[in-house]
Amino acid sequence: MVWERQQGQRGQGAQRFEGRSSEGAVRMVRRSQKRKLPKVTGLCRPEEGLRVKRSCPSCGPEPGGEEKKERGNPVSIQLFPPELVEHIISFLPVRDVVSLGQTCHYFHEVCDSEGVWRRICHRLSPRLREQGSGVQPWKRAAILNYTKGLYFQAFGGRRRCLSKSVAPVLAHGYRRFLPTKDHVFILDYTGTIFFLKNALVSSTLGQKRACCYVVLCHGAKDFASDPRGDTIYRKYLYVLATREQPGVVDTAHSQSCDCVEVYLQSSGQRVFKITFHHAMSFKQMVLVGLETQRTLLLLTEEGKIYSLVVNEAQLDQPHSYTGQLTLRKVSHDLPHLRVACMASNQGSTLYITDQGGVYFEVHTPGVYRDLFGTLEAFDPTYQQMPLPVSLPAKVLFCALGYNHLGLVDEFGRIFMQGSNRYGQLGTGDKMDRGEPTQVRYLQQRPVALWCGLNHSLVLSQCSDFSKELLGCGCGARGRLPGWPRGSASFVKLHIKVPLYASSLCPTRECLYMLSGHDIEHHPTYRDLPASRVVGTPKPSLGAEAAQDPEGVAAQACELYLGQIHSCPTLQECMETTKVIVGWMPLMATQEDFFWEALDMLQRAFGGVGQGPSTPDS
Task: Write the DSSP string, 331-377.
Answer: HHH-TT--EEEEEE-SSEEEEEETTS-EEEEE-SHHHHHHHHS--TT
Alpha carbon separation from 468 to 156, 440, 494, 496 (Å, rounded): 21, 17, 9, 8
- Residue 611's region, left for phi above 0, alpha for psi from -120 to 50, else beta, is left
Average pLDDT of the segment spanning 30-48: 42
The per-residue pLDDT for range 504-515, each reduced to its tens digit, is: 999 888 899 999
Q: 133: how many CB neighbours lie within 10 A of its CB?
A: 8
pLDDT at 258: 94
Mean pLDDT calculated for residue range 118-128? 84
Per-residue pLDDT at 565 exceeds 80: no
Average pLDDT over residues 281-307: 93
What's residue 31's pLDDT?
54
Instruction: Lowest mean pLDDT of 205-209, 329-333, 371-375, 481-485, name the range.
Output: 205-209
Give the pLDDT of residue 264. Answer: 92
Q: Torsion angle of alpha carbons 392, 397, 398, 399, nearest 10°?
A: -160
**Residues 104/56, Cβ–Cβ less than 8 Å:** yes
Burial of 239 (0-12, 13-18, 19+ CB in 10 A): buried
Q: Which of these ranges, 244-258, 332-346, 543-557, has the smallest mean pLDDT?
A: 543-557
Whether residue 463 is predicted with pLDDT greater than 80 in this model: the reply is yes
Specify the higher pLDDT residue, 20 or 327. 327
**pLDDT above 60 for 148:** yes
Residue 421, pLDDT > 80, answer yes
Dihedral over Cα of 505, 508, 511, 515: its sign: negative
- What does the DSSP 8-state code read for residue 183? -
The pLDDT of residue 339 is above 90:
yes
Report the share of the chain in percent with pLDDT over 90. 34
Average pLDDT over residues 468-492: 91
- Residue 425 in contact with residue 433, Cβ under 8 Å? yes
What is the predicted pLDDT for the residue at 382? 74
Answer whether residue 208 shows pLDDT above 70: no
**Looking at residue 26, what is its pLDDT?**
45
- Residue 254, pLDDT > 80, answer no
Non-local (6+) Cβ contacts of 168 within 8 A are 186, 188, 194, 196, 213
- What is the residue type of 162? L
Q: According to the per-residue pLDDT averaged within each range, which of 57-61, 203-207, 611-615 is highest?
A: 57-61
* Residue-averaged pLDDT of the chain: 78
Averaged pLDDT, 484-502: 92
In this prediction, residue 39 has a pLDDT band, given cuts at 50, 70 and 90, of: very low
pLDDT at residue 383, as a whole number: 72
What's residue 551's pLDDT? 58
Which of the pair, 432 or 125, is modelled with greater confidence?
432
Lowest mean pLDDT among 25-29, 253-257, 438-442, 592-596: 25-29
The residue with greater pLDDT, 48 or 567, is 567
Residue 277 C-alpha from the chain's centroid? 35
Q: Which pLDDT belongs to residue 135?
A: 61
* Angle ∠(103,105,107) on CA atoms, nearest 5: 60
